[in-house]
Amino acid sequence: MIIIRKPVLNDAERIAKVHVSTWQSAYKDLVSSEYLNSLSVSKSKEKWEKNISENSSIIYVAESQGQQIVGFISGGKNRDLDDHSEYKAEIYAVYVLADWARMGIGTKLFKAIVADFIELNYNSMLLWMLKGNSTEQFYQKLSGVCLSEKPYKIGGSTKTLVAYGFDNIDNLFD
Ligand SMILES: CC(C)(COP(=O)(O)OP(=O)(O)OC[C@H]1O[C@@H](n2cnc3c(N)ncnc32)[C@H](O)[C@@H]1OP(=O)(O)O)[C@@H](O)C(=O)NCCC(=O)NCCS
């Protein structure tokens, strides 16, 4: 069984482990191995401790029965006020460990954060993803619409970020 819940400060290290591990598996064909190998759980842990303690974004974790964190989502107000300011909310990150993928956990994490967005009167949202990974199909299944692309420098080369927009999120899971 998977429990979706808000994190406590003590979860920061386990979230960081998921963050680093999913980056290293999901982006291995897209981002240089040098960059991926340089990702540090301890630095990521510090960022997550800050995020959790400052309450600056909405975060949910997915916890397995063995109390292992296997995925997380974070989001809040849309940070991209240049191109797509009509979208009120933004998913900042969503990651599920490769061994736990395709079990409905990503969808459960989306449902949890979307419920919070609706309470905050955010009726639409967007997210930016690295072009070229298979997660586009996940967003398309949730009725996401490709909005635009922009260049993104990472690991010594320039990649492409793709924005997906979701309108009327009150009806996303009807
Ligand atoms: C994207 C991600 C969060 C999805 O989580 P998940 O728990 O695997 O997703 P779900 O099981 O809820 O998938 C729901 C549906 O989306 C589609 N889908 C999800 N992942 C897919 C994939 N890799 N390829 C094709 N379709 C996919 C499927 O239709 C799936 O339903 P099905 O399994 O019954 O066919 C997760 O795979 C992940 O963390 N990927 C790597 C990291 C990443 O790129 N994150 C996005 C950064 S913004």
CATH number for the domain harbouring residue 92: 3.40.630.30
Whose CA is closest to 58, among 84, 87, 92, 85?
Answer: 92
Instruction: Report the mean per-residue pLDDT for the chain.
Output: 95
Who contacts 126 (Cβ-Cβ below 8 Å, separation ≥6)? Answer: 78, 80, 84, 87, 89, 90, 91, 147, 163, 164, 165, 166
pTM: 0.96
Q: Is 32 in the pocket of ligand 1 (CB under 6 A)?
A: no
Residue 82 in this model has a pLDDT that exceeds 90:
no
Candidate of 17, 28, 138 to mutate for ligand 1, largest count of ligand atoms within 8 Å of Cβ = 138
Rounded to an integer, what distance in angstroms lies between the CA atom of residue 89 and that of residue 41? Answer: 28
Question: Which domain, by its residues, includes 144?
Answer: 3-171
Inform me whether the pLDDT recorded for 55 exceeds 90.
yes
CA neighbor of 27 nearest in space, from 157, 166, 163:
157
Q: Find the DSSP H helices in the chain.
A: 12-26, 33-37, 41-54, 105-119, 136-141
Number of domains in the chain: 1
Average pLDDT over residues 110-137: 95
Quote the pLDDT of residue 169.
96
pLDDT at 133: 83
Q: Return the pLDDT at 118.
A: 97
Percent of the chain exceeding pLDDT 70 equals: 100
Q: Which atom of ligand 1 is nearest to the CA of 91?
A: 48
* 143 ligand 1 Cβ < 6 A: no
Taking every pair of Cα atoms in the chain, the longest distance, rounded to a whole number of angstroms, is: 43
